[in-house]
């Protein structure tokens, strides 16, 4: 039903084309649905008709991913304009209530093309990190405090502690819900189809990597975070009865290493499945300058992290998706000419655990590697992004080429295809 401003009211699902949760697994069109996914945060940007848009490239990227067996994309739905240099430009939200309709139409174009290829998308609606503006920019708007850029301050503990104030700021939360409603109730300008009725949306996601605060989060901060997850997810479900809702959590690494907090945040009926991320280098398990000396430790910890979260999902009786993981190129180097032997070895370890546990019937529902760089290329000698450069899998707060999988990384692509075929063959 069309409401005011061309937005739509929630409508019940008319068919089984929507991704649903059946016990501890996903189902779609009457069959088990395993995610073989890529992070493609900039997909909506490429879909814009002009400016930063590159529609011809977008079609090529989608075709290439589809050919590999990739069936799911994790995409940034909204970004916030900010003065921080390590954030993407332009942004979908220029100020509270002021939207860049051309960029939002780019998201429409992406969704229209995804539908033609029968892929699905996870759309995240905020960001705990600064590279798209995110929660720290909301606090700038509504508290007047400077948006914090940890690329500049090098102080992540303070950044995380202050950014978590977003959950407690009533004005920021009200505007965030306005943005949620703007996207969830949107009508696609390309297809005329309301997003609520789009079977190619797998889930709405509260944010990219929301955290309760820093490593020393207090019981009060944790309680605020759990309440925010529950109530925000409930709000999305009140707008849209058709789609799943997820948190975007990294798992224990994003829960102050508190398993009970992670369980409490995902126990609510408003969260349909669990998410987790795996970053051995970022978490200092792996040293790219000493790969042989740190590999065994990194893989031991990675295996434990991968498997322990599947056990946590069992406790809640819900599916879980490994929706981010990555490793850098050999050297280490950001150059596309550098080999990817260590990364490929890491990917195989990860893929094998996901596939083996899924084949046994455990609640692991698939993966999204970080991230699809495709035909994008770093433009600058220092590998840092500037406005007008290609978008790649690495957002502007990281060197371009750090974790991206490019269309010339043949060994990585073949590995993805190998495990895509295996996961798609699982019958449930």
CA distance linking residue 80 with residue 62, whole number of Å: 26
Whether 115 shows a pLDDT value over 70: the answer reads yes
Residue 89: CB atoms within 10 A of its CB come to 16
Mean pLDDT of 90-101: 98
Whether 6 shows a pLDDT value over 50: the answer reads no
Global pTM reads: 0.96
SS3 category, 251: coil
215-248: pLDDT as tens digits = 999 999 999 999 999 999 999 999 999 999 999 9
Mean pLDDT of 92-119: 98
As given in the structure block, the two tokens for residue 160 are 């995380």
Per-residue confidence (pLDDT) for residue 428, from 0 to 100: 72
As given in the structure block, the two tokens for residue 394 are 């690495």
Confidence label for 4 from pLDDT (cuts 50, 70 and 90): very low
Confidence label for 418 from pLDDT (cuts 50, 70 and 90): very high
* Percentage, residues of the chain above pLDDT 90: 96
DSSP state letter for 253: G
Mean pLDDT of 377-398: 97
Mean pLDDT of 203-221: 98
248-283: pLDDT as tens digits = 999 999 999 999 999 999 999 999 999 999 999 999
Q: Nearest Cα to 84, choosing from 135, 14, 44?
A: 135
Which domains are seen in the chain, by residue range?
19-425 (3.20.20.80)
As given in the structure block, the two tokens for residue 140 are 């700038």
Residue 156: CB atoms within 10 A of its CB come to 14
Mean pLDDT of 136-163: 96
Give residues with Cβ within 8 angstroms of 137, minimum separation 6. Answer: 80, 81, 82, 84, 87, 130, 147
393-to-83, 119, 349 alpha-carbon distances in Å: 22, 19, 21
CA distance linking residue 114 with residue 195, whole number of Å: 13
Whether 169 shows a pLDDT value over 60: the answer reads yes
Whether 8 shows a pLDDT value over 80: the answer reads no
């Amino acid at each position: 039903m069309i409401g005011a401003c061309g937005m739509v009211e929630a409508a019940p699902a008319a068919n089984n084309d929507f991704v649903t949760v059946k016990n501890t697994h996903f189902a779609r069109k009457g069959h088990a649905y395993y995610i073989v996914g890529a992070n493609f945060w900039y997909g909506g940007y490429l879909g814009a008709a002009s400016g930063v848009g590159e529609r011809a490239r977008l079609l090529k990227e989608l075709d290439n991913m589809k050919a590999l067996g990739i069936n799911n994309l994790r995409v940034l739905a909204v970004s916030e304009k900010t003065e921080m240099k390590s954030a993407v430009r332009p942004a979908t939200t220029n100020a509270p209530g002021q939207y860049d309709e051309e960029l939002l139409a780019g998201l429409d174009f992406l969704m229209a093309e995804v539908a033609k290829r029968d892929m699905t998308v996870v759309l995240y609606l905020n960001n705990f990190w600064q590279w798209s503006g995110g929660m720290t920019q909301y606090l700038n708007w509504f508290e007047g405090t400077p948006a914090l850029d940890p690329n500049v301050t090098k102080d992540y503990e303070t950044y995380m502690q202050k950014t978590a104030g977003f959950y407690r700021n009533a004005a920021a939360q009200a505007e965030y819900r306005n943005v949620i409603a703007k996207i969830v109730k949107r009508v696609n300008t390309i297809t005329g189809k309301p997003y609520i009725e789009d079977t190619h949306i797998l889930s709405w996601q509260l944010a990219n990597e929301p955290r309760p605060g820093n490593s020393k989060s207090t019981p009060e901060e944790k309680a605020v975070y759990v309440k925010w997850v529950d109530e925000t997810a409930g709000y999305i479900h009140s707008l849209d009865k058709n789609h799943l809702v997820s948190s975007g959590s990294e798992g224990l690494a994003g829960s102050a290493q508190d398993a009970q907090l992670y369980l409490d945040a995902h126990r609510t009926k408003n969260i349909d499945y669990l998410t987790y991320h795996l970053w051995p280098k970022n978490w200092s398990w792996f040293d790219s300058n000493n790969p042989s000396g740190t590999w065994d430790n990194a893989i031991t910890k990675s295996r434990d992290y991968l498997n322990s979260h599947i056990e946590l999902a069992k406790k809640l009786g819900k599916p879980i998706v490994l929706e981010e993981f990555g490793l850098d190129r050999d050297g280490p180097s950001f150059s596309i000419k550098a080999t990817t032997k260590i990364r490929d070895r890491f990917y195989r370890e990860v893929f094998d655990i996901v596939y083996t546990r899924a084949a046994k019937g455990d609640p692991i529902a698939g993966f999204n590697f970080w991230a699809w760089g495709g035909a994008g290329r770093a433009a600058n000698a220092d590998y840092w992004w500037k406005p007008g450069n290609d978008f790649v899998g690495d957002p502007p707060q990281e060197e371009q080429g750090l974790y991206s999988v490019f269309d010339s990384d043949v060994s990585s692509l073949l590995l993805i295809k190998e495990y895509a075929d295996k996961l798609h063959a699982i019958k449930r």
